[in-house]
Structure 1
């Protein structure tokens, strides 16, 4: 299944919502990761998580995996035990908490009927590459210890979490390990070189992200790195052998081409891939209380159901 699906055309985003997002952006996306700016970024993302109330109808069970904060998110009234979702949260590798992760984790659980495991990996610049990937590996091994088979796991991530999900899948493949059943990526950050044309095309349309923010967080995550290396930019990796992949993206975001080019590269590598795009939506719009977000969750659930 190698195809592109365009999400239902939605009206131009409400200007009040966009104005509010831009205010949050001014707090949560500074152009540096100096201590005060980093504090402001993390506070801004946590504020966003508090402003966006998660849906009702799920349970939240926090615990730790060898010191890594984690939580099981389950639909109330029972869940489908045939599969589960391992979710990597976004935040530019420099911010993000379990509270923030709860937004998208709960929506995925309710849409699919599967339980979701969210975890809070260590953040840069205090913990640069590869520490987030090391945490993701440890959480994966914990699932193996619990008795989950790799083919029962859907590996999901948004933004930097999409980068982390891809890097974990590539790491497992290169180690000749069994791979997750499916990848589900929401606005994944796949190109740390920031070479996509959408950086310029969407510069004035993206209410959340800027090139300056991307450049700041990549430097925090991997100081002085060659960001064209596959270890940082899975867009440029050998993608052969990866699981079937669903990508969802908004048409207003500067990271749009990180998704569209990933889709093209997956197809070229022989990986079944589906791209779903919402022309008037922004970065990781799925976490917002919007009609388009509900549609995106429904399409994700339908994609997973059709492939069972």
Structure 2
């Protein structure tokens, strides 16, 4: 056990160093370094094609496998990044693997980022992209909503908005370490602070201040379901699959959401990966591959 703990601590230090490589106080440099890293590590032309285009003024892309694959169901993917960083390029390290494992086409998009475009800009863009898919002829039941971190938040918010508007909901949701509670009230924020190699309290506070600036005068807005989906009503929701690591401060964002979904009779499944960190599925390691394959199996079983 001591050797195992040493290995785990060493791994956490490596992950932290890799993550810190992209972090920059200059927001534009931060965003560019993430996008460049995604293009470098996530783009696999031998495995998939990447077709970039605009949906109105929203940069978007289709990720399509360069081999026979099913095309009845597609995945609409919302990237993470705390609502103020991240991009479809950065998320390629995850979306390409998800496309391959699920044998599905993926539509990814760059929603407007805070602080230039605070809430509800991201949700408005997600609704536009959803409308584009419906216009193409995809039925809601042919679409899987997926996302990581803030993108998991956005996927949930989009589905909640569709429900509020009385529209047909997607076939299912797949969430990787979703940030569901911007009140930052989960117990794991303190319990996992020393373990998490990716997220910190300062980072999350900076992100939510950028995304919901008016909350400076009214903290209750953090509990708005379209800001913190944990507080939404999920009655009548489609199946939801959640993955999270034990070494992340957002652990309770997933476990509390899972409990709520079950209480509201949603077919929800949660997989907790021991020793893993925030959105570890992006990494090039065995556990990440197993997690993506498990997500694909969830979709195959629907």
TM-score normalised by L of structure 2: 0.91
Q: Quick one: which of 208, 214, 220 aligns to 2:198?
A: 208
What CA deviation, in whole Å up to 9, does each residue of 1:31-60 have, x standing for no partner?
A: xxxxx4423532453354356345551111
Gap runs ≥5 in structure 2: 216-220
* CA distance in structure 1 between the partners assigned to 2:231 and 2:250 by the alignment: 15
Give the match for residue 85 of structure 2: 95
Give the match for residue 171 of structure 2: 181
Residue pairs, 1:178-257, within 5 angstroms: 178-225=168-215, 226-257=221-252
Q: Quick one: which of 35, 48, 63 aligns to 1:46?
A: 35
* CA distance in structure 2 between the partners assigned to 1:76 and 1:171 by the alignment: 34
After alignment, is 115-124 or 38-47 more displaced? 38-47
* CA distance in structure 2 between the partners assigned to 1:267 and 1:13 by the alignment: 36
Task: Choose between structure 1 and 2: higher helix proportion.
Answer: 2
CA drift of 1:168 comes to 0.2
Contact kept in structure 2, 1:11 and 1:280, CA below 8 Å: no
CA drift of 1:245 comes to 0.2
Contact kept in structure 1, 2:187 and 2:252, CA below 8 Å: yes
Residue 214 of structure 2 aligns to a residue whose secondary structure is: coil
Q: Quick one: which of 260, 276, 280 aligns to 1:281?
A: 276
TM-score normalised by L of structure 1: 0.90
* CA distance in structure 2 between the partners assigned to 1:62 and 1:211 by the alignment: 35
Q: Quick one: which of 14, 18, 21 aligns to 2:15?
A: 21
* CA distance in structure 2 between the partners assigned to 1:305 and 1:228 by the alignment: 34
* CA distance in structure 1 between the partners assigned to 2:35 and 2:8 by the alignment: 23
- Taking only aligned residues, the RMSD between alpha carbons, in angstroms, comes to 1.9
Contact kept in structure 2, 1:13 and 1:280, CA below 8 Å: no
Contact kept in structure 2, 1:196 and 1:255, CA below 8 Å: yes
Gap runs ≥5 in structure 1: 1-9, 31-35
